[in-house]
A and B are shown apart, each in its own frame.
Chain A
């Protein structure tokens, strides 16, 4: 059964969602220019939810997403990459995907409460947590940019 709108709203509005522990940006499996982290989202309701983040400082492009196990991405903030909605309108380089039964995670909107730029992942994380009703009990340090010329 796909996730219903009501179920998604219940997940998003659940104010017990929390990430516990420090968040450390790490290299991905390809040693690409991007860094990433993944953390489990705990909650009183027990949804199998994870937060995933990636940051490519070359662009710069930053994404934070809530991923529900066995469903996939249900909520995501993207900075630094344009988006084309199913209704054929361009949304812009600051957009947020939100699950709906009709479009799954393909429809995005401009989140007005995200004001920090992609180049400041820690500040954007705080704004993302606020809108997603997510608390983070821990610290996040800024990711280190890749060193040297990647193409040499």
Chain B
């Protein structure tokens, strides 16, 4: 096959990879691009005034939400979506990836931009904790960086018993510093032992919670799974302030409080 034939074959076959058909009030373009599980990426078009709206109609974020029990995306994941949209010149509006094909624009080019953005946004899947790329502690660290908190991760501290403990974060804020344990498990049966372990650690470290530079003890519960009982929250509250990862603002406010 000569070089010219390669180009002709490629150009000629390209359109066959895309299937365009009427779909209600939209034209649906089924692309050969795939979400990470193999589902096809569809892009929908609809004239509006003198432009054509090109959108995934929120199917990419819907696909992402179907892969996780987390009700909300992390700040890092939101930033990655913004980055993908910026690269491809796509607007993120109400969970939809959207672009306008204005007079003089090529519809194919705009469609490719939206499809490519969908492809990149769906790759946020690789940042999900179930994919073993990222842990909840990584998410918390990202949050602390984003909020400009100074912190040390995995610092070893000696308890009164002589045993060494490793809180997840030692956070230094303007008014007061805090030791943070992140409590996370997917199993109700393991939930109690996780709380007991942190309770014991804070008890053994309680000499650090005294004096003019007393550290605040914080138990940060990963509540993306409903595995914690009221008893477990009450136990943690005895020696620490309890916050939930689903409410990161409360966590930030607690770190900043005197």
List residues of A whose CB falls within 8 A of some B CB: 28-34, 36, 38, 40, 46, 48, 50, 52, 54, 56, 58-59, 61, 63, 65, 67, 69-73, 76, 78, 81-86, 90, 97, 105-108, 150-151
B109 close to A (CB within 8 Å) = no
Residue among B53, B59, B69, B225 with the most chain A CB within 10 A? B69
B58 close to A (CB within 8 Å) = yes
CB distance from B256 to the nearest CB of A (A): 25
CB distance from B119 to the nearest CB of A (A): 13
Contacts of B129 in A (CB 8 A): 70
B188–A151 CB distance below 8 A = no
CB distance from B85 to the nearest CB of A (A): 13
Q: Which residue of B24, B40, B44, B72 is within 8 Å of A84 (Cβ)?
A: B40
Cα(A61)–Cα(B63), bound, Å = 10
Q: Which residue of A28, A82, A105 is within 8 Å of B37 (Cβ)?
A: A105
Cα(A29)–Cα(B131), bound, Å = 22
Contacts of B44 in A (CB 8 A): 58
Interface size on B, residues (CB 8 A): 43
Given contacts A28-B65, A32-B94, A34-B58, 5 further A-B contacts (CB under 8 A): A33-B94, A48-B187, A50-B225, A65-B66, A86-B38
B131–A31 CB distance below 8 A = no
A56–B30 CB distance below 8 A = no
**11 A-B pairs with C-beta separation under 8 A:** A34-B62, A52-B65, A54-B65, A58-B26, A61-B59, A69-B69, A70-B186, A81-B59, A84-B34, A106-B38, A151-B46
B94–A78 CB distance below 8 A = no
Q: Mark B191-234, 1 if CB is under 8 A from A, else 0.
A: 00000000000000000000000000000000001110000000
